[in-house]
Structure 1
Amino acid sequence: MASSENSGPSPVNYLRGRIATESGIIEDGVLAYDGDRIAYAGPAAGFPGGDTGPERTFPPGSLILPGLIDTHCHGANGGDFASGDAAEARRAVDFLQRSGTTTSLASTMTAPPADLLKALSVLAGLAEEGVIAGIHAEGPFVSSVRCGAQNPDHIVAPTPEYVAALIDAAQGRMKTMTYAPELPGADALIDELTTHGITPSLGHTDCDTSTAAASLALAWEEMDSTGFDGYSGRPTVTHLFNGMPPLHHRSPGPVAACLRIAKAGNAVVELIADGAHLDPQTVLTVFELVGAENIALVTDSMAATGLPDGAYHLGSSAVTVTDGVATLDRTGSLAGGTAVLLDVVRRTVAAGVPLLDAITSATVVPANVLGLADELGSLRLGLRADAVVVSAELRLLAVLREGLWLAPL
């Protein structure tokens, strides 16, 4: 867990300033918290307390956001979630939390079965502690043609035995799994995942439009029949555009189906809006086509996040980072990201996406994907006291997590 600057919160501490809520920005607002829970979030004029003054003050134009939520990240600050090393994972989470990502899933990579099972077991323990919100398994049931940084030597089609072993190793803490729908056994995999409360995430696929559409429809139906609720009951799409055939007017591939189904509200598409994985105009176009409520901004961050250019590893694959862009030594393809989620939000806004839309896709939507909308993702009464204070330029000023101020980076 990230370190804090004070030993514990005082009752009903509060901040005053501009506050980003789901209904809009309150120009003169108060965010108050009692312990680890939000006690008030609204106009300053309606705040019943405040005789002692705000706990902290920030520069004019600053904005208080909900804590950011990343559902797809592989590590940071030298820590790799796929390593099976708990200390590495803690180091990564500490950095991510202090960067403003107050909640994250830990993403694993395709790997030899023994290594993957070990990593899942270690991460399950960290999820039990509350260090991470759960696990995202990226593979091993993906396309070897569109493997990206996934090691093709360990990509396999799903079998009942291997699927059961992975689910067991995760000890009920696996939240999402990326899969390629064209693989034999993919439909049975969807059934098994949804039965265990795990969201299927279509990705790293070479499938055509009809296959993608049919698979997302099946996932939607299975999630509905097994008790997923509301907006948490939607399949996701792992980093749309990346790890799949490009959209072509005579061969639209999975992208067309994913856009159409997301527009209908029946799927959530991830976007790595870091300036390297997607052109800013592509990001803007997707927001305008499908709406912020159907998009989850993610980082796909890896161990090099927060560190200088150089040589790193993503899972078992060697990676070189040059000018902040990570590429796979083996093929030269993109190999994860090096941005944190606040960077992604800032670049999304710079692309022309309205600020509240970008915030929604980094808070409300991922909270719904995780089934945690009653706990995270917004600044409202009773939710966990997670907040990020940023400058008018969306630069990090301070992070509050569970009612504790985290030590700055």
Structure 2
Amino acid sequence: MSNADRTVLAGARLVLPTGVVDNGRLTVENGRIAEAVAADASTTPPVGAAPPLDLSGYTVVPGFVDMHVHGGGGASYASGVAEEALVAARTHLRHGTTTTIASTVTGEIDEVCRQASVLSELVEDGVLAGVHFEGPFISINRCGAHQPDLLRDPDPALVRKLVDAARGTARMVTLAPELDGGIESIRLLKELGVIAAIGHTDARYDKALEGIEAGATVATHLFNAMPGIAHRAPGPIVALLEDERVTVELVGDGVHLHPAVIDLAIKGAGLDRVALITDAMSAAGFGDGLYPLGPLQVRVEDGVARLVEGGSIAGSTLTLDVAFRRAVTLNGLSLVRAAQVLSLNPAKLLGLDDKVGSIEAGKDADLVVLDDAHQLVAVMRKGEWIVGAEVFQVPASV
């Protein structure tokens, strides 16, 4: 192995799944983590090895895993254009999302199939980690920023058509279980090894439970695009929160949910069942203005995205580095717990935790470096610096 294939980071605070190691030493070899341990002053580097990089004063957390994101950098995954999808993925990568599941929006079935085919090639190239179909199998009463006249009942044949179009890269399908074919489609997705997510739903409590029993294991952006909790009609929120088989997505941007509601969801579900997501649209990392969201138009003002017609919230402009910082500073999560809900939990749900989601030997060297204010400083993906390495490219003394 050449020295070029080996990087040592020294002096940083390492956020491991088992706790925080101060003055840590992290070794990367051939794009993977070789070790992550407390620094030992007596450690002698291999003969001819480059001196370690000094990360004293910085915190290193695992690269973030976003299981629900529609775009960024002015580009959308629903465009059906590979170059746009690359822009979106690279935008979020620069904000620490090293593993991305690309989400589509409601459209004509054949068009969404075409988009899935384009995205599947980027999965095969290692840019993306999978495809999430959000719509068209959702409730017209809770459609949010999805075009109502393009919504469809979840006919299992149509669900299979979308999954097949992704050529083995489909990771998740969001649907409303109360619609005709909803329960059957959830069973089909389970058979196909694709996550069935309950969302954009008007389901009653009992129907949501039926969907969970059929195999649904995710709540798509819990609280949003579903009926609220009433004391005689608990609705889908309570069903999804109380079942230990369900992971609940939460959008931590301060627009979709009040921080107190996030606290409530964490207490109700437990930290092992929470995944913070962005649900970001193309304006993320780009700025205010007018943007397409599938066939609809969105106006972004002061970072808040709403449909031009009707004013519904239309995704977010959030990036996961901001979500991490909010989780720590507003929701009071420890560094370890914040890393869990932004990295390890979604990685486990997606079946990717053997490679990503935590700082452990043998996993991909996907790392985010933060300063003491939890601001992003640098990002590494598979051992390659994406941004920020020049900040600390000074050899450490030990």
TMscore range, shorter length: over 0.9
Q: Which residue number corresponds to residue 53 of structure 2?
A: 56
Q: Is the 8 A contact 2:155 2:182 kept in 1?
A: no
C-alpha separation in 1, matches of 2:42 and 2:128: 33
Equivalence for 1:367: 347
- 1:331 matched to 2:310? The reply is yes
Contact in 1 for aligned 2:140/2:151 (Cα 8 Å): yes
* Structure 1: runs of 5 or more not aligned: 1-7, 221-234
Which residue does the alignment assign to 1:228? none
Which of 136, 150, 153 is matched with 2:149 structurally?
153
State yes or no: 1:40 paired with 2:35.
yes
Deviates more, 1:8-17 or 1:37-46: 8-17
1:294-333 correspondence to structure 2 within 5 Å: 294-333=273-312
Structure 1 residue 350, shift from structure 2 partner? 2.1
Q: Is the 8 A contact 1:281 1:351 kept in 2?
A: no
Correspondence 1:342 to 2:321: yes
Structure 2 residue identity aligned to 1:277:
H
Aligned residues of 1:149 and 1:335 also touching (Cα < 8 A): yes
Report deviation, 1:72. 0.2
* Cα distance in 1 between the residues matched to 2:43 and 2:119: 42
- Counterpart in 1 of 2:395? none
Alpha-carbon offset, residue 48 of structure 1: 5.0
Q: How do 1:14-33 residues align onto structure 2 when only pairs under 5 Å count?
A: 14-16=8-10, 17-33=12-28
103-112 or 284-293: bigger deviation? 284-293
**2:65 aligned to which of 66, 69, 73:** 69
Large movers: runs of 4+ above 3 Å: 46-55
CA distance in structure 2 between the aligned counterparts of 1:138 and 1:49, rounded to whole angstroms: 52
What's the CA shift string for 1:148-167, capped at 9, x where partnerless?
A: 11111111112233122211
Cα offsets for 1:361-390 (capped at 9, x unmatched) = 011101011101111001111100110001
**Unmatched segments (≥5 aa) in structure 2:** 390-398
Shift of 1:124: 0.7
The alignment's TM-score, normalised by the length of structure 1, stands at: 0.90
Q: Which of residues 389, 393, 398 is equivalent to 2:378?
A: 398
Secondary structure of the residue aligned to 2:162 is helix
TM-score, normalising length from structure 2? 0.93
- Cα pair 1:237 1:269 within 8 Å, conserved: yes
Partner of 1:198: 194
Deviations 1:92-116 (A, max 9, x none): 1111111100011000001012211
Quote the residue 1:225 is aligned against. Answer: none
For the structure 1 residues 289 and 311, does the alpha-carbon distance in structure 2 shift closer, same or farther, using more than 3 Å as the test? same
In the TM superposition, what whole-angstrom CA distance separates every residue of 1:166-187 from its partner, at most 9, and x where no partner exists? 1111101000110101011112
Trace 1:1-400 onto structure 2 (pairs within 5 A): 10-16=4-10, 17-45=12-40, 48-50=43-45, 55-58=52-55, 60=57, 62-219=58-215, 235-261=217-243, 265-355=244-334, 356-400=336-380
Deviation, structure 1 residue 282: 0.8
Task: Find the aligned partners of 2:229 and 2:123 in 1 and give their Cα distance.
Answer: 37
Distance 1:9 1:201 in 2: 45
Deviates more, 1:200-209 or 1:156-165: 156-165
The percentage of aligned residue pairs carrying the same residue is: 39
Give the CA deviation at 1:329. 1.1
SS at 2:352 equivalent: coil
Using the alignment, how far apart are the partners of 2:310 and 2:77 within structure 1? 22
Letter paired with 1:57 = D
Q: Alignment partner of 2:260: what SS?
A: helix
Given that residues 70 and 101 in structure 1 are in contact (C-alpha distance below 8 angstroms), is that contact kept between their aligned partners in structure 2?
A: yes
Count residues in correspondence: 384
What amino acid is the match of 2:363? Answer: L
Distance (Å, rounded) in 1 between the aligned partners of 2:169 and 2:41: 40
CA deviation profile, 1:260-316 (whole Å, cap 9, x unmatched): 11xxx3110000011110001111121122221100100000100011211111111
* RMSD (CA atoms): 1.8
- CA shift, 1:58, in A, is 3.6
For the residue of structure 1 that corresponds to 2:292, the secondary structure is strand
What is the one-letter code of the residue matched to 2:371?
S
Give the distance between the partners of 2:42 and 2:114, measured in 1 at CA: 49
What letter is aligned with 2:348? N
Q: 1:47 to 1:116 in 2, by over 3 A?
A: farther
Contact 1:66 1:388 survives alignment (8 Å): yes
Distance 1:408 1:63, change over 3 A: closer
Secondary structure of 1:162's counterpart equals helix
Counterpart-to-counterpart distance in 1, 2:375 and 2:247: 27
Task: Compute the displacement of 1:191 (Å).
Answer: 1.8
Task: Answer whether contact 1:296 1:365 (CA < 8 A) is retained.
Answer: yes
Q: Which amino acid aligns with 1:389?
A: V
Check whether the contact 1:348–1:358 (CA below 8 A) recurs between aligned residues: yes
Amino acid at match of 2:257: L
